[in-house]
A and B are shown apart, each in its own frame.
Chain A
Amino acid sequence: MTAIDEVKNPETLWERFTANIVRILISIAIPTITFIILRAIFIFLRDTDAPTWLTAIVAIIWGVGGVALLYVIANYIVDQFSDKWKARLIPFIFIGPAVAILFYFLALPTLRSFYLSLLDRTGSFVWFKNYAFVFTNKTMLEAFKNNLYWLIFGTGMSVGFGLIIAVLADRVHPALENLVKSIVFMPYAISMIGASVIWRFVYDFRPVGAEQIGLLNAIIVGLGGEPQAWLIQGPWNTFFLIIILVWLQTGYSMVILSAAIKGMPRELMEAARIDGATEVQVFFRITIPYIAGTLVTVTTTVVIFTLKIFDIVKGMTGGNFGTEVIANQQVTQMFDFGDFGRGSAIAIVLLILVIPVMYYNLRNFSEQTEAF
């Protein structure tokens, strides 16, 4: 029913009045009924003893269908309004849910976490005591130091290997190139916990004389060396954990950098080679400057990822033997010590560490999109 239809079919005042009442009632009734049904299913799901697979299917249909339904209903309700109001309300339907969810799940928690970081575990206000803990506690300082290692070596090695493999794979037969890239990229699909299991079989340690079932020690012993407890001896154990991250993340850097390298004009490199440049010179003087932008992007992404590293440490050492990192310490503070104040303070520190990247993104955005 648009305004034009109404002019064409003049109705009596009473008819229009009742029609509006019906519309309003329907607008209220449909969402209410939907809500009641969705809620009933939710309670069923929460309390059910049905077999897991059945619960799983009901849960999936309920979750996905529920969200789709909410959009359809919202659209239906807006359709009941005049065109002028429709134009005003439509944007809310389209972006409203996303903005509300982002606000509640990410934007608001920055403030709430900051507030919580000023409270101790009993909930009384202690100003910046938790931050004093974060920056003076022995384990926390160790975590900061380790995170720095993770950032430098983890990022450096995964971006470095990614670059090397991307450049070298570009020069072999395409079939081999695809195979190699798939193999290196594959760990990206493996969870860090899965990777922890995999690397247990690399780093395992048995005392001298016993048969080694860890690959690394078997190689060392085979070469006549002494088996090492890789995950226990500091400070190198953190380094061995970092290798797992490098194994997981190199594929990502490789894929992005490889695409950038493929995008380079071939003539540029050919011309340099004809002028007598060596391959090393071509790499440093042409390839690197050409893909510098991509290199920065990839490095930033890996830095942010590495900053929040958690699963590998949790799975391999649990943060013991001097391998603690910031994100694991946050979970430890939350669950093992029940200290939400300290946990929040650690989260705020993580947030502060990414602010430069956030600033850079925002500046980039406002430069690129004058016309937004």
Chain B
Amino acid sequence: MTQSSKFTFGKLSVYLIVILLALIWLVPTLGLFVSSFRPGDEVLSNGWWTILANPGEANLTLDNYKIVLGIGLEELGGTVRGGDINIFKAVLNSLTVTIPAVIIPILIAAFAAYGFAWIKFPGRKPLFIMVVALLVVPLQIALIPILKDYIKIDLNGTFLGVWLAHTGFGLVLATYLLYNYISGLPRDILESAFLDGASHFTIFQRLILPLSMPALASFAIFQFIWVWNDLLVALVFMNANPTNEVLTQKLLGMLGTFGTDWHLLTSGAFISMIIPLVVFFSLQRYFVRGLLAGSVKG
């Protein structure tokens, strides 16, 4: 008896601790979410949790979202503070940076992974050792030399420049992960294709790409979240051209204006979070699989 009641008590405390930890993790995001629907003056005058006391009388509004997205500013009239913040363009810029910065390295890495895994050629091993060595090299090392080159050839502040930079920095992990996956594909499928006279290019297109979809997807999610959330690369290579400014840069700029436009900061931050969160929750399984594959390495 005592054994079982002790066990139940232990079980109960495990449940309590787990729920408590989950709440602690959730509350900060919840605070931002609630705040983003509150009028600007209220955000600054009392805590977001005060509306939880009597939710019926809470004063909620979509104005913060309208203002940062630049929608229906006329009807809000002269009361708009910080009305010139149009985050919509930054959202588009972030998408423009992110989509190619995800697809280009995956494509290049898939080719390379296939080459390393299934084509024998002199120099294969030393080149792959270079890939392994570069896995942990901090991208900080590249910022200054690459920026100097970009300035010289007019790539500074262009989408192309940022894509190439993200490609360069994401390619190591992409090649390594995809190599692990592609080299593990069953040998006989590929060999029968070779015997049928298929070229490497055909095999890559018809067999490798479709078979590697799970690995490609998991890296795609990883790279998407990474690039979308990146500040450093954008700050270094996009700084010269404010029209191409991405969301994280925009938010950093808004953070700089201490104290005044907090209500806009909340909706802006939430807009910046919504896309990666949707990607994250809808594709979580692939994402976790990719993380696990990546963690097999040292």
User: Hey, which bits of chain A sit against chain B, CB under 8 A?
Assistant: 42, 45-46, 52-53, 55-56, 59-60, 63-64, 67-68, 71, 75, 79, 88, 90-91, 93-95, 97-99, 101-110, 112-113, 116, 161, 164-165, 168-169, 171-172, 176, 179-180, 182-194, 196-202, 211-215, 218, 247, 250, 252, 255-256, 259, 279, 294, 296-298, 300-301, 304, 307-308, 310-311, 314-315, 327, 330-331, 334-335, 340, 343-344, 346-348, 350-351, 354, 357-358, 360-362, 364-366, 372
Interface centre among A113, A201, A348 (most CB of B within 10 A): A201
Contact with A along B102-144 (1 / 0, CB 8 A): 0110011101101110010100110111111111111111111
B228 touches A191 (CB 8 A): yes
Number of interface residues of B (CB under 8 A): 117
In the assembled complex, which residues on chain B have CB atoms less than 8 Å from the CB atom of A255? 288, 291-292
Of B168, B277, B298, which one neighbours A102 at CB under 8 angstroms? B168
8 example contacts (A-B, Cβ-Cβ < 8 A) are as follows A63-B100, A64-B103, A113-B145, A168-B21, A180-B22, A215-B27, A314-B231, A330-B143
Q: List 7 A-B pairs, minimum CB-CB distance, nearest first.
A: A105-B168, A94-B115, A98-B112, A191-B229, A63-B100, A197-B269, A91-B121
Interface centre among B137, B204, B266 (most CB of A within 10 A): B137
In the assembled complex, which residues on chain A have CB atoms less than 8 Å from the CB atom of B103? 63-64, 67
Of A71, A79, A164, A182, which one neighbours B281 at CB under 8 angstroms? A182
A171 touches B11 (CB 8 A): yes
Of B46, B143, B165, which one neighbours A211 at CB under 8 angstroms? B46
In this complex, what residue of A is CB-closest to B272? A194
A189 touches B298 (CB 8 A): no
Of B35, B144, B154, which one neighbours A113 at CB under 8 angstroms? B144
In this complex, what residue of A is CB-closest to B45? A211
B28 touches A110 (CB 8 A): no
B14 within 8 A of A: yes
Of A101, A189, A211, A365, which one neighbours B132 at CB under 8 angstroms? A365
A189 touches B225 (CB 8 A): yes
User: Hey, which bits of chain B sit against chain A, CB under 8 A?
Assistant: 10-11, 14-15, 17-19, 21-22, 25-29, 31-32, 35, 43-49, 89, 92-93, 95-96, 99-100, 103-104, 107-109, 111-112, 114-116, 119, 121, 124-125, 127-148, 154, 158-160, 163-165, 167-169, 171-172, 175, 199-201, 204, 225, 228-232, 235-236, 239, 248, 251-252, 255, 262, 265-266, 268-269, 272-273, 276-277, 279-281, 284, 288, 291-292, 295-298
How many residue pairs between the two chains, A and B, have CB atoms under 8 Å in the bound complex? 338
B104 touches A63 (CB 8 A): yes
In this complex, what residue of A is CB-closest to B30? A198
Known: A102-B172, A215-B27. A53 touches B92 (CB 8 A): yes
A105 touches B146 (CB 8 A): yes
Q: What CA separation (Å) do A86 and B281 show in the bound complex?
A: 45
Q: What CA separation (Å) do A95 and B123 show in the bound complex?
A: 11
Q: What CA separation (Å) do A22 and B290 show in the bound complex?
A: 47
A193 touches B231 (CB 8 A): yes
Shortest CB distance A128–B (Å): 17
A351 touches B137 (CB 8 A): yes
Of A109, A194, A300, which one neighbours B273 at CB under 8 angstroms? A194
In the assembled complex, which residues on chain B have CB atoms less than 8 Å from the CB atom of A314? 231, 252
A213 touches B96 (CB 8 A): no
15 additional A-B pairs beyond A94-B114, A191-B272, beta carbons within 8 Å, are A45-B160, A56-B96, A99-B127, A106-B169, A110-B137, A185-B284, A189-B273, A194-B273, A197-B268, A199-B28, A201-B28, A311-B231, A311-B248, A347-B138, A358-B136
Known: A90-B119, A191-B229, A307-B138. A259 touches B292 (CB 8 A): yes
Q: What CA separation (Å) do A200 and B259 show in the bound complex?
A: 10
Known: A314-B231, A350-B141. A176 touches B159 (CB 8 A): no
